[in-house]
Homo-oligomer: A and B are copies of this chain.
Amino acid sequence: MTSPSDLLAARFQAVAAATEQRLIEALADAPLEGERTRPSHLMAAMRHGSLDGGKRLRPLLVVESAALFGVPLARAITAAAALECVHCYSLIHDDLPAMDNDLLRRGRPTVHVAFGEETAILAGDGLLTLAFDLLAGEDAHPDAQVRIALVRLLARASGIGGMVGGQMLDLAAEGRFSGGTPQALSEADIRTLQAMKTGALLRAGVEMGALLGGADAEARAALAAYGTALGVAFQIADDILDIEGDAAALGKSVGKDAQAGKATLVSALGMERARALLADLVAEAGGALAPFGAQGAVLAEVARFVATRQN
């Protein structure tokens, strides 16, 4: 019998390959209807910032959530690729000199290092725009009602009151904008910031899967609860990795949070309580999947994976 973690590894591999393929298609050089030309320097920067990258966790969440309702991978992959475009654009912009000024990402030079700052800004803008272009196509879903619901969901999760707002709160907490001074954040403040900065897109992944699958309100709420718990777990695991992780395995520098005096749930709760909370969140995420019975096994394993990953 295949173990849950072997099964998940196979799913990660299948989704990553399909996501890569869909992004390669979307980032082809040939202009589409309504486009004039696709400048090669821009396309190269967009590919650098989105291809051959990461575990494709967000696409996996879309695909596996949609699979709960019988939607095959091929029918979920365009929406999954759209979500990944948003994730990749956010990394490109967050890495900019005016933001986190990161030089390495996944062991490679960041987009602004490799292509110039102005190109990195445009590559991020292009990927964000492309995400909505992808959702507007019939291969995202045959029903326009579902496609427009995906647009609304992704816009809310990634915009002012979601990811972009979360990055703003993060910069504010570090006292990073004009005249700002570092702020002491309460545990509630940290949770809000993280729910927006990283949680919103993870949760959007499962909610997009629910939309693709035509989930009823109950199933959608169950997946949203799972996604919320997963988001918090992901961030705690990330914060622990920043303290205990191995820079080589991570492909990025560690110890940055402590250096920046950054407030995390680990710094607020202490390592021991943070680990206990992480375990609780994995259980909570698994519990939220109860309505799906045995079919929820892959997503439950995703929560365990997220909590224990080493990179």
Q: Are A153 and B34 in contact (CB under 8 A)?
A: yes
CB distance from A201 to the nearest CB of B (A): 12
Known: A42-B160, A136-B152, A165-B42. A98 touches B117 (CB 8 A): yes
Does A129 reach chain B (CB closer than 8 Å)? yes
- Chain B residue contacts of A93, Cβ below 8 A: 121-122, 125
Which residues of chain B have C-beta atoms less than 8 A from A36's C-beta? Answer: 161-162, 165, 192, 195-196, 200
- Contact (Cβ within 8 A) B164 A116: no
Task: Given the known inter-chain contacts A147-B148, A161-B32, A164-B129, please indicate yes or no for A177 contacting B41, CB distance below 8 A.
Answer: yes
Report the Cα distance A157→B32, complex, angstroms. 11
Contact A119/B155 with A148-B147, A160-B129, A177-B41 known, Cβ cut-off 8 Å: no
- In A231-254, the 8 Å CB interface with B consists of none
Chain B residues contacting A130 (CB-CB under 8 Å) are: 155, 159-160
Considering only CB atoms, which chain B residue lies closest to A147 in the complex? B148
Assess whether A266 is interfacial by the CB under 8 Å rule.
no
A144 near B: Cβ within 8 Å? yes
User: Whole-angstrom distance between the alpha carbons of A115 and B179 in the complex?
Assistant: 9
Q: Which of A275-292 contact B (CB under 8 A)?
A: none
Main SS at interface, chain A: helix
Chain B residues whose C-beta falls within 8 Å of the C-beta of A38 in the assembled complex: 160-161, 165
In the complex, whether A118 has a CB less than 8 A from a CB of chain B is yes
Which chain B residue shows the least CB distance to A119?
A: B177
A302 within 8 A of B: no
* Closest Cβ neighbor of A199 among chain B residues: B36
The answer to whether B151 and A135 have CB atoms under 8 Å apart is yes
Q: Does A176 contact B (CB under 8 A)?
A: yes
CB interface residues, A 31-68, toward B, < 8 Å: 31-39, 41-43, 46
Cβ-defined contact, A168 with B121, below 8 A? no
Q: How far is the CB of A243 from chain B (nearest CB, A)?
A: 25
Q: Does A133 contact B (CB under 8 A)?
A: yes
Chain B residue with Cβ nearest A172: B41
Q: Is A124 an interface residue (CB 8 A)?
A: yes
Contact partners of A125 in chain B: CB under 8 A: 89, 93, 124-125, 128, 164
Whether B98 and A168, one on each chain, are in contact in the complex, defined by CB atoms closer than 8 angstroms, is no
A140-170 residues with Cβ-Cβ distance < 8 A to B are 144-145, 147-149, 151-162, 164-165, 167-169
Q: Are B128 and A152 in contact (CB under 8 A)?
A: no
5 contacts across the A-B interface (CB closer than 8 A)? A39-B169, A133-B151, A136-B152, A144-B147, A151-B151
**7 closest pairs, A vs B, by CB?**
A35-B161, A34-B156, A133-B155, A129-B159, A136-B152, A98-B117, A116-B177
